[in-house]
Structure 1
Amino acid sequence: MPLMMSTRKLPLIETREPFILSTAAAEPCSIARCGKNKVPIRFPFRQQGKQPENCGYRGFDLRCGSQDTIYLDLPYSGEFYVRDINHLDQQISLYDPGDCLPKRLLGLNLPGSPFVPVFIQNYTFLNCPTQVTTSRFNAIDCLTNSTNSVLATSSARLANRIASSSCRIITVLSIPVPWQAKDDEEFTAALDADIQLTWNAPRCGDCKEQGGEKVRVSKFSGSSLCITLPAISEAIGIAVFAYCQDRCNRARRNPYPMQVDDSTAEVLPQPVIVVTGLDESTIESYEKIVLAECQRIPGPNHSTCPICLSEYLSKDTIRCIPECRHCFHAECIDEWLWMNSMCPMSRKSPLEEDASSRNDPV
C-alpha cells in the first residue's frame, strides 16, 4: 500500500524580534569628551574608565585631566596633552604639560606605541655661552640659563660653523616636526610647535561619526535569514570549488612549488614593546661618583649633563660609561641605558665594544 503524503500545512513561525548576527555582544560606542574640551574621543581612541575596551585599540587609551585636558601616555616617553585629533587624516597633535617641548623631544621614544611621526628631520642641539648667542641666534628659552644657551638647528652646515667657535654639539636627533625645513635654511629653531603623529593601523577614515566599533553588528529578520543563509552557503561552496580547482591546476603545471614569502603578510595591529637597552646588572656595574665641592668631572665631560642639560652640582650622583668615559647624572643615564644600549654622546655601544674585545686575538 503506497504511503500517503500528508497535505496538512504546518503553521508559520513568526519572528517578531530581529535576529542579531555578531561575534560578541557589544554596546554602541558613543563619543566621549573631557568636560568642555571640544576634541571628541571616539574609535580607535577610547576614554579610560568610561568606554569599554571594545570601543578602542590598544595604545589609544586617553584620560581626562584637570581643566578639561586630555592625556595620552606614550610608553617610555610619558604623558602629553592632546591638542587635536584629525580622524579623517589619522593625525594627533600633542604638546607638553610642562611647557618645555624641546626637553621632551630629547627623550622622545616612540617604539612601543602605535604612533609614528608625520614628518621627521635631523636637528643638532648645541650648548653655547649665553652672552655669545643672545644677539645672534634664537635660543630655546626653557633650556637656557644665565650662563648657557641651548640652540637647535636643522642645518648641519650652521651647526658645524657654530661648534667651531665657542659652542659644543650636545647631540644630533631625528625628531618629529610639523613640516620639513629646507636644507639651505640656516637658522635656529625654538621647536615649540606641537608634535604631529599619525597611525597606520587601524585604517579608520570611514568609521561612523557615532564612534565606530571593533565588533560589526548586522540585523536580519527571521524570514530574511532563511533566504540569506542558503545563498551564503552556495557562494562559499562555489568559492571553495574554484579555489581547489585552481590549486590542482597550479600543481599540475609546477610539481615543485616555490616557497611563499610571507614577509608582506598583513599583521594585526598589536604594538610590541621592544627593549633594546642594557640589563640592570650591567648598568649597575658602571662607576658611580658623588660629586664633592669644586670636583672636576672625569673624562671628556663638561659642566652640564648632556641628557637633562642641567649643570652638575655638589652632592650630585653621576655615572660614567667605561668605554668612552662620558658621564651623566645617574638617574638620567640609567633610564637612557634601559632603552638604548649606546652612549648618547659617542653613539658607541658597550655591547659592541665587549664583542670586539672578545674577538680580538690575544
Structure 2
Amino acid sequence: MGILEVLFPFFIFPVIYASSDCRFSFCGSNGIIIRFPFQQEGKQNPYCGYPGFNLICTNNSKTVLKLPYSGLFYVRNINYLTQKIQVYDPDDCLPKRLLSLNVSASPFSPTFTRNYTFLSCPLKNAGSQFIPIDCLSNSTHFVSAVLSLSLPNPLPASCHVITSLFVPVAGPEQRFEGNFKGEFSEDLALTWDRPDCRYCEAQEQLCGFDRNNNNQLFCFSYQTGASKQGIQIFRIITLSVVGPAAIFAIVMACCVCYKDRLTNIRNNAIARSAPATILPAPEIVTTGLDESTIESYEKVVLGESRRVPGPNNGCCWICLSEYNSKETIRCIPECEHCFHADCIDEWLRINTTCPVCRNSPSPSPSPRVTSINP
C-alpha cells in the first residue's frame, strides 16, 4: 500500500495533463456531443479542433453550423463514425437554401446529389407534374423543382427556368417521379474527408492531434486520455524522482510486511488456544435500485432511423457508443434520459440516480417494451 501511495500521483499526472486540455461538451436539447474535430466557438484550442469545424451553441439550446457563403444551419445530429453531419434550415425552407448553397470554402461536401431544374409558373399550372414549393411561392406564381431528366420539352409557355443545379439528396437508391417532394423532405446531409478519424472511431478510440509530431493525427483511448506528450513527461519524472522514491518505498514495504507476518504468526498461535467464537453474519447493504424497480422502466427497441425519444442524442452517455438499429434501450421516466439497457441496468444496481441529471427516479407504473420504427 505504501508503494501505491508514493507512485499514484505520478501515474495520474499524465492522465490529468492530457484530459484537461480537450474536453467533451454538450449542446442543444438533443444533447449533441461536441468533440474533435468539432469544437465550440469561443472555447477554441488549436489542438482540440480542426479548422472549419467550429460550432455555435445558442442561448435557446440550438447547435449551429456556419457555412461560408451559405449562412447558418441548425445541427440535428453528428455521426463521428461515418463522418456525417445532419443539418436543417432554421426557417424551415430548405429548397430556398439549396438555391444558394455553396460549400466550396468549408470542409464539408454533400453525400449524394441529383440534377434538378427549378421553374417559376403561374398558379394555373400547378398539378401532379409541377408541385409548388410552398415557402418559395406566392398568391400568383409558384416555384417547383423537377428532375432535369424528366423536364417536359417544350415547357408550358407561361413557365420559365430559374436555374438548374445539383441538389444534395438522401441517397442514390431513392427514386422519385419527377418532383422534389421526397428528396427535400429530409435534412441536408453533409460529410467530410479531412480529418479522417474513421479508423480511430472503428477501434472505439478518439482522434486528436499529436503535438510532438507536426500536428499529425493519432488515436488514443478515451478511458485514460493519455497523450504521447504526457507519457514523455511521465518518463522524465520517473527517471528523476520516482526511481529513488520507489526503491525507498520497496524497502519500507518489505519491513512492514515482515512485521505484519510476525504479528500474524503470534495472533494465530493465540487463536489456536482460545475457544472458537461464532461471528454474526455481515449485513448486505444494497446501494442501488432493486430489480423490480429497474424492470419497471420502459424499454425501447430502435428502428432503422436510430432516433431516440426524449432529450437524448445518438449515443449512450454511459459507454459513449452510438446506437444501432434493433438495439434495446431503457429510459428513466422522470427525466426521459435513455441508455443501452445493459448499461443503465448495471448502473442502477449500484446507484439510485440518473447518470446524466443525477435525479432520483421512481418506479414506473408498469413495465413496457416499445419499438421505434419511423
* TM-score computed with the length of structure 2 as normaliser: 0.49
Q: Partner of 1:170 in structure 2?
A: 162
Asked whether the 8 Å contact 2:112–2:170 carries over to 1, the reply is yes
**CA shift for structure 1 position 108:** 0.5
- 1:42 equivalent to 2:66? Answer no
Asked whether the 8 Å contact 2:121–2:158 carries over to 1, the reply is yes
Asked whether the 8 Å contact 1:133–1:139 carries over to 2, the reply is yes
Matched ranges for 1:1-362 at <5 A: 17=10, 27-50=20-43, 52-134=45-127, 136-156=129-149, 158-161=150-153, 163-180=155-172, 185-190=176-181, 191-205=184-198, 206-207=200-201, 212-215=207-210, 217-218=227-228, 219=231, 222=235
Q: Which is helix-richer, 1 or 2?
A: 2
Asked whether the 8 Å contact 2:131–2:179 carries over to 1, the reply is yes
**Unmatched 5+ residue regions in structure 2?**
1-5, 212-226, 240-374
1:33 partner SS: strand
1:150 partner SS: strand
Distance in 2 (CA, whole Å) between partners of 1:35 and 1:42 is 14
Distance in 2 (CA, whole Å) between partners of 1:78 and 1:137 is 29
Distance in 1 (CA, whole Å) between partners of 2:39 and 2:87 is 17
Q: Partner of 1:329 in structure 2?
A: none
Distance in 2 (CA, whole Å) between partners of 1:35 and 1:138 is 34
Which amino acid is the alignment partner of residue 188 of structure 1? N
Which amino acid is the alignment partner of residue 178 of structure 1? A
Q: Matched residue pairs, number?
A: 210
Over aligned residues, Cα RMSD in angstroms? 3.3
Asked whether the 8 Å contact 2:117–2:161 carries over to 1, the reply is yes
2:95 partner SS: helix
> Could you say if the C-alpha distance between residues 91 and 61 of structure 1 is closer, same or farther in structure 2, counting changes exceeding 3 Å?
same
Asked whether the 8 Å contact 1:103–1:143 carries over to 2, the reply is yes
> Could you say if the C-alpha distance between residues 131 and 94 of structure 1 is closer, same or farther in structure 2, counting changes exceeding 3 Å?
same
Which amino acid is the alignment partner of residue 170 of structure 1? I
Which amino acid is the alignment partner of residue 106 of structure 2? S
* TM-score computed with the length of structure 1 as normaliser: 0.51
Asked whether the 8 Å contact 2:148–2:164 carries over to 1, the reply is no
Distance in 2 (CA, whole Å) between partners of 1:186 and 1:151 is 13
Distance in 2 (CA, whole Å) between partners of 1:162 and 1:194 is 33
